[in-house]
Amino acid sequence: MASDYQENKKNRIGVYYAANGVRHALETEINMRVHIIIMLMVVLFGFILGVSKLEWVSLLITIGMVLTAEMFNTAVEHIMDYLAPERNEAVGRIKDLTAGAVLVTSVIALLVGIIIFLPKIIVMF
């Protein structure tokens, strides 16, 4: 049906642009690459240390939170640089807030990682 075709076309274009956004973040944001490296290490340790299904879910949710916060932070930085490229106290505060959101999610992710991995590491010794 024509409307189904339009719907599929629209979705495909949307995913294409969204994937472009992820690629842009990976290419331009060093923090994003650091998060991805940490994520790959967490997944590797997850397999090595045999985390449970529920632990995988917790890890994936926290990883998703950090990556999402980082992308929103990057988007806000771009918005602010576009709208107000000059130094401005309000812009600085806005950027600090979104950077703070990344910090909060990262600390939570670290705590989740410690809770899941530390007991498994301790029993190995």
Ligand X SMILES: Nc1ncnc2c1ncn2[C@@H]1O[C@H](COP(=O)(O)OP(=O)(O)OP(=O)(O)O)[C@@H](O)[C@H]1O
* Footprint on this chain of ligand X (rule: CB under 6 A): 29, 31, 73, 77, 87-88, 91-92, 95-96, 99
* Residue 86 designated active-site: no
Cα-flanking dihedrals φ and ψ of residue 51, to 5°?
-75, 155
Nearer to ligand X, 14 or 21 (CB): 21
Q: Say how far residue 45 (Cα) sits from the centre of its chain.
A: 19
Whether 7 has a binding-site annotation, put simply, is no
From 27, 55, 70, 86, the catalytic residue: 70
Q: Say how far residue 8 (Cα) sits from the centre of its chain.
A: 27
CB 26: neighbour CB atoms within 10 A?
13
Whether 86 has a binding-site annotation, put simply, is no
CA distance 86 to 72: 21
What amino acid positions are annotated as catalytic residues? 70
- Binding-site positions: 17, 29, 70, 77, 95-96
- Binding-site positions for a divalent metal cation: 29, 77
